[in-house]
Structure 1
Amino acid sequence: MADSSGPDAGTTSPATSVVRTLTGWTGRHALALAALATAAVLGVVAYLPIGLVFAEAFLEDGRLTLAAFHAVLTDPFYVGPLAGVFEEPLALGTHFSALFAWVRAGFPAVGMGLFGFTAYQAALSTLASLALGLPAAYVLATYEFRGRQTLRSLTILPFVLPGILVAAGFYAMFGQAGTLNTLLGTVGLGPYPFLSRYPLAVVVLAHAFYNAPLVARITVAAWESLDVSALETARSLGASRRRAFLDVVVPQLLPAVLTGALLTFVFTFMTFPIVLALGGLQLATVEVWVYDRVGRLAFAEAATLAILETVVSLSLTYAYLRYESAQASVARVGRPPSREALFPDWRLETLCAPRRLAVVGYGLLALVVFVGPLASLVLGSLTDGSGFTLAHYRFLAERQATGASYQTLPWPAVRNSLLFGLATLALAVPMGVVIAVLVARSRWGAVIDTLAMVPLAVSGIVFGIGLLQGLVFGVSLPGGTRLQFTGVAAIVAAHAVAAYPFVVRTVSPVLGGLDPAMVESARALGATRARALLDIELPLVASAVVAGAAFAFAISIGEFSSTVILASGGDTYTMPVALERYLGRRSGPALAMGTVLLVVTALSFVVIDRVGGRFEHR
């Protein structure tokens, strides 16, 4: 018999009814709530800091003004000969007369200005990346050989290496006591001051180290999706192999090549750690000069430069997104091309065939460019002028043992990098997945995609300044409350903003390729939109999510631009920041710290990649 004092079995209390109603409503609107939460996080940790920095360029003593833009755009130091055009934009006759005089004089050299030099080094870096990346794409797409798939997978490696680490590797290779000068010394040559005499060439080569694999990866994907029947038709109609390649293959590959070139130009236009470490203010790009202006407290000038840089990079990023969207809608049909054996036999005439000799020559060049800097980094950490030594590592151990708070210690740098990376995963992956769902499924997907990619087009320096000026110092909100992020929270926020676009770019194409009918069927059977996402879509794209997580973790481990601002003067420095501090004072310990960073980064990426491999085979 039921207790008469208790509620009747057929009734529920008002509180239980409210809980059930709220639970049901939350379940039905979980995805919308996640989207609102993501938008709120982005608004606070991304767009608000960007807005605070950009406002510096438009405000002077609380009044709106364009004086900072006028000062920058009319200064030949920044825009070179275009300064006169911006000074008097309507004086067309004067400008055309100056142009014709320049042509009649035989195109004499003119000062490019800061923006001109930034674009110039980005163009050189793009050409170098194409020159190194396209032959790699040809070899990977045309030939079959042992280790081909492994080599293809390794094209992702540069993206998980911090820029400051690559800079340290090139310093170890081209420095006065570097590997190259050591090898030259064995034959009685050198040493040559490569870094001081040819800094631009070394910087361009370092940029190619990063971006040539990107060009190769994009081009190989396009090459493997070609329809070989069109090529065979051209050959059957009498076209030579060379003519068929130029008329059939090249036009189909050109969009992918242009995409790789566009992305390379964007990345190198916004370059910072490599130029800062290898060239300094001698080769200052816009990004490096923004960093210098911030250090001198010239915030209005820094903000103006950052806005102009963002306009360029965001325009190019938008062009890339439009192309990616157009390519995703093109169905790939037909029979893919087959690959021939690189060395079908070991006869001398086969080995000495011109094409195969060219492949071997390129392989040796690639070995020097891509393996040389990293090998030099490790070698430099284990040697000094007298030979093999562990003195550089002992220096790091002894510094750690002292524990002096005013010094940069190795263990806090390693610990902070790992902890910040894990915290970044917890924030960036859910944000990236939610945005990827909206991009793939919402009718406003294109607009959301463009807005979500804004942080990718804005420099880490801008984020660092914005977080420092706004959330670290605090922002007053209506009602007398104050929003403030400091220390670890600010750094993790900056890392998450830098990392989540890579999760979006990894997950959204795969998610968009799924059949929407599966979700519709689940919804028809009573599943909420969030339940359909968790039970159907995410398991099918789990490998892409893990790949995005690997990128996010690697971006956090190597993030330098914003961290170097937010970690200054505290104990929240990371491995890249510690490496940069050592590099400016002691090259040996810097290379040892770089080797530690290389090992930690590689091991971390391997662990995440192994975890992702479990999902790929489910």
Structure 2
Amino acid sequence: MSGSTPGHARSHRAERVALPLLGGLTALLLVVLLYYPVGTVLAEAFAPEGSVSLAPVLDVLADPFYHDLFAFTAWQAFLSTLASLALGLPGAYALARFEFRGRETLQSLTAVPFVLPSIMVAVGFVATFGREGPVNDLLRFLGLPTVDLVFTLPLVVVAHAFYNAPLVTRIVAAAWESVDGRAVETARSLGASPRKAFLDVVAPQLYAAVLTSALLTFIFTFMSFPIVLALGGFELATVEVWLYAKVQNLELTEAAALAVLETVVSLALTYGYLRYERAQARGARTVSPLPRQSLRVLDAKRLALLLYAGVVVVVFALPILSMLVASVQGPDGLTLDYYAFLLRRQTTGLAFQTKPLPAVRNTLLFGVGTLLLAVPMGIVLALASNREGPLARLLGTAVMLPFAVSGVVIGIGLLEGLVFGIELFGTRLRVGGPLAIVAAHAVAAYPFVVRNVAPLLADLDRAFSESARALGATRVRALVDVELPLIAPGIAAGAAFAFAISVGEFDSTIILAEGSSAYTIPIAVERYLTDRTLGPATAMGTILLVVTAGSFVVIDRLGGAYRG
């Protein structure tokens, strides 16, 4: 017994330093993988030739071309936000106010578009609204003129709504379900009509959620890259697309100046989003939720919802179905030629050509690496930010930096830092491109782990961990044995999102995989798409869909179902 006492004491000391050590390691990773790379890129705008100068940023500010570029970027984001609200708010109303078979399944499916790879969705929209797509086929059948929406602003806006309308639905539906039904009943008992009760009681409680979802949508569409690049091209270039073009042309100083201004705008938007989200969370207290209605009785309101369901099918289901069909549809009917092309490319293609199996292998390996890095980082940051006070709020904002920084900028920073190497004590330290890609994916993914874990930590009953501590457990033991099992569904959901984000990540990967064999499935899709042959792109997009959906389901089932 006495011999075990020193070992027991050493174990306690080790556990006492474990959390601070883990926190310090996470902070170091953030500096190395995020803050330093981003800082070096942005610094190039102020020190283009080694001397401090504001000239590059001032030149961009003074250039009328960039005024128009930022104005167009904000305009398309504004239109995309309106389209997302118009498509998402009726869905929130249906989920929050009506009871029907499959409602919970439908609510879970609202998370699916958000984790679908954007380049795959772009291919689906090209297949749907292109000259030979089903929309034009229907117009020909009806004897109407065909339309070519590819490389037009309306198609970019609708594609953005595909991604962000489900986000609006989830956020607003959650707020709607937290409305106190007794307040509505009180208003009705005092003579208010249903419309008056909604405007005076329900609507004010939804404003914060609507504004939060609108701000988040605007941020995502302002920073959108693959959708605009694939569906708009340089004819409809946004700041992000133009930034990528500058990098491709090796105009790095001008690119850095552009990145500085874009980051300032996106950081301001992100701060506003986080502020309103906190206000919404503080006000979300469900006392007596509104009773849901049945959809069985057909009236004008329910008929409108049926028409809305038809629009949802066209916007959400048709692009995916069109991509699947286009992958097996040739000029002469059903065919597997496009998949055969991929097999030929794999077996007989030249070394420099894009092959499918390396793309699949790299995608899965990078996804696993992202999980190993992003999930622990997300848990530690969620624990650190789950405290009261201004420091915790500042940390909560700082960890969301990847939401506000261009993926292209992160890719450039990692390329110039980790890949090209950092001079340290006379030795140049560098890592390979694949490790840099994993780092970029982890940076993009860990905020989703934080967003899934932090709310569960905030709602956790502290009595459980306090009881464990009272019985002699260390802080680490209480965390591992008590807290982590209770928040396991959030960890599993964060892991599923992290893996899906890695599988579909495009912005930084296209920078880091340039000229190497470390390309992923989204990069392969984009390369096949640029050949102007939609068939191989849709076949590769189908493979990407299978990998994404399969991986998401496996991780979600292993760890527990996601609950938003």
The bucket for the TM-score relative to the shorter chain is over 0.9
**Equivalent residue, structure 2, for 1:599:** 546
Mapped partners of 1:514, 1:235: distance in 2: 36
Q: Higher mean Cα deviation, 19-28 or 518-527? A: 19-28
Mapped partners of 1:328, 1:361: distance in 2: 33
**Equivalent residue, structure 2, for 1:89:** none
| Mapping of residues 489-508 of structure 1, within 5 Å | 489-508=435-454
Pick the aligned partner of 1:410 from 349, 356, 360. Answer: 356
Cα-to-partner distance string for 1:514-551 (whole Å, 9 max, x where unaligned): 12233233223322211111111101000000000001
Cα-to-partner distance string for 1:179-210 (whole Å, 9 max, x where unaligned): 211222233344422214xx100000000000
By how many angstroms is 1:251 displaced?
A: 0.6
Larger radius of gyration: 1
Mapped partners of 1:331, 1:458: distance in 2: 29
1:236 partner amino acid: S
CA contact (8 A) 1:542 1:615 kept: no
**Equivalent residue, structure 2, for 1:104:** none
Mapped partners of 1:361, 1:10: distance in 2: 77
Pick the aligned partner of 1:253 from 189, 197, 206. Answer: 206
**Equivalent residue, structure 1, for 2:537:** 590
CA contact (8 A) 1:506 1:545 kept: yes
Q: Are 1:237 and 2:184 matched, yes or no?
A: no
Pick the aligned partner of 1:609 from 549, 556, 562. Answer: 556
Percent of pairs with identical residues: 60
**Equivalent residue, structure 2, for 1:574:** 520
Mapped partners of 2:561, 2:38: distance in 1: 39
**Equivalent residue, structure 2, for 1:435:** 381
By how many angstroms is 1:464 displaced?
A: 0.5
CA contact (8 A) 2:359 2:524 kept: yes
| Mapping of residues 175-194 of structure 1, within 5 Å | 175-194=130-149
Q: Are 1:542 and 2:495 matched, yes or no?
A: no
Q: Are 1:468 and 2:415 matched, yes or no?
A: yes
Q: Check 1:489–1:544 CA distance in 2 against 1; reply closer, same or farther (3 A cut).
A: same
CA contact (8 A) 1:68 1:304 kept: yes
Q: Check 1:286–1:183 CA distance in 2 against 1; reply closer, same or farther (3 A cut).
A: same
**Equivalent residue, structure 1, for 2:95:** 140
| Mapping of residues 202-241 of structure 1, within 5 Å | 202-241=155-194
What secondary structure, in the 3-state scheme, does the structure 1 residue paired with 2:347 have? helix
Mapped partners of 2:137, 2:346: distance in 1: 31
Q: Higher mean Cα deviation, 201-210 or 381-390? A: 381-390
By how many angstroms is 1:615 displaced?
A: 10
What secondary structure, in the 3-state scheme, does the structure 1 residue paired with 2:44 have? helix
Q: Are 1:29 and 2:17 matched, yes or no?
A: yes
Unaligned runs of 5+ in 2: none
**Equivalent residue, structure 1, for 2:314:** 368
| Mapping of residues 117-516 of structure 1, within 5 Å | 117-196=72-151, 199-330=152-283, 332-344=285-297, 351=298, 353-441=299-387, 443=389, 444-477=391-424, 479-516=425-462
1:44 partner amino acid: V
CA contact (8 A) 2:490 2:562 kept: no
Q: TM-score, normalised by structure 2?
A: 0.96
Cα-to-partner distance string for 1:430-468 (whole Å, 9 max, x where unaligned): 000000011114653212111111122101100100011
Pick the aligned partner of 2:64 from 54, 68, 76. Answer: 76
CA contact (8 A) 1:503 1:549 kept: yes
1:469 partner amino acid: E
Mapped partners of 1:21, 1:141: distance in 2: 54
1:553 partner amino acid: F
**Equivalent residue, structure 2, for 1:58:** 46
CA contact (8 A) 1:226 1:252 kept: yes
1:307 partner amino acid: V
Mapped partners of 1:526, 1:303: distance in 2: 54
What secondary structure, in the 3-state scheme, does the structure 1 residue paired with 2:131 have? coil
Q: Are 1:43 and 2:31 matched, yes or no?
A: yes
What secondary structure, in the 3-state scheme, does the structure 2 residue paired with 1:482 have? strand
Mapped partners of 1:455, 1:310: distance in 2: 10
Mapped partners of 2:549, 2:440: distance in 1: 22
Q: State the number of aligned residues.
A: 561
2:478 partner amino acid: A
Cα-to-partner distance string for 1:12-42 (whole Å, 9 max, x where unaligned): 9xxx96x876543221121111000000111
- Please report the RMSD computed on the Cα atoms of aligned residues, expressed in angstroms: 1.8
What secondary structure, in the 3-state scheme, does the structure 2 residue paired with 1:536 have? helix
1:250 partner amino acid: A
Q: Check 1:442–1:434 CA distance in 2 against 1; reply closer, same or farther (3 A cut).
A: farther
Unaligned runs of 5+ in 1: 1-8, 80-112, 345-350
**Equivalent residue, structure 2, for 1:116:** 71
Q: Check 1:333–1:133 CA distance in 2 against 1; reply closer, same or farther (3 A cut).
A: closer
1:178 partner amino acid: G
By how many angstroms is 1:128 displaced?
A: 0.1
Q: Check 1:11–1:582 CA distance in 2 against 1; reply closer, same or farther (3 A cut).
A: closer
By how many angstroms is 1:72 displaced?
A: 0.3
1:138 partner amino acid: Y
What secondary structure, in the 3-state scheme, does the structure 2 residue paired with 1:476 have? strand
CA contact (8 A) 2:69 2:238 kept: yes
CA contact (8 A) 1:168 1:591 kept: yes
Q: Check 1:555–1:331 CA distance in 2 against 1; reply closer, same or farther (3 A cut).
A: closer
Cα-to-partner distance string for 1:490-531 (whole Å, 9 max, x where unaligned): 000000000001100110111011122332332233222111
